Amino acid sequence: MNTTLRSEDLSCPSCIAKIESALGKLDGVAGATVHFNSGKIEVEYDESRVDVAQLQKTVRELGYETTESPF
């Protein structure tokens, strides 16, 4: 399954590595890509092991608010 989250809170390029690393450590996440300029966070995950709410919680715990985006 794939989802795209959006965050308006990305303030520096180092945010990318922090978010990608934290999401990548979650059981069920196959990969995460953060696009700094657009605020898009694309996540590939196994919905039987992790859900969008957990993805958003993980990013929020790093200090970045997110919303789920249809694109």
pLDDT in tens, 12-41: 888 899 999 999 999 999 999 999 989 999
Mean pLDDT value across residues 45-56: 98
Q: Is residue 9 part of a domain?
A: yes
Q: Is residue 60 part of a domain?
A: yes
Q: Is residue 34 part of a domain?
A: yes
Whether the CA torsion 10, 13, 19, 24 is positive or negative: it is: positive
Q: Is residue 71 part of a domain?
A: no
Helix, strand, coil % (nearest 5) of the chain?
30, 30, 40
DSSP helix/strand/coil, 37: coil
Provide the number of structural domains found in the chain.
1
Q: Is residue 70 part of a domain?
A: no
Task: Please report, for the domain that includes residue 39, its CATH number.
Answer: 3.30.70.100
The per-residue pLDDT for 23 is 98
The per-residue pLDDT for 71 is 61
The pLDDT tens digits for 2-19 are 999 999 988 888 889 999
Residue 57: give the domain boundaries.
2-64
Q: Is residue 39 part of a domain?
A: yes
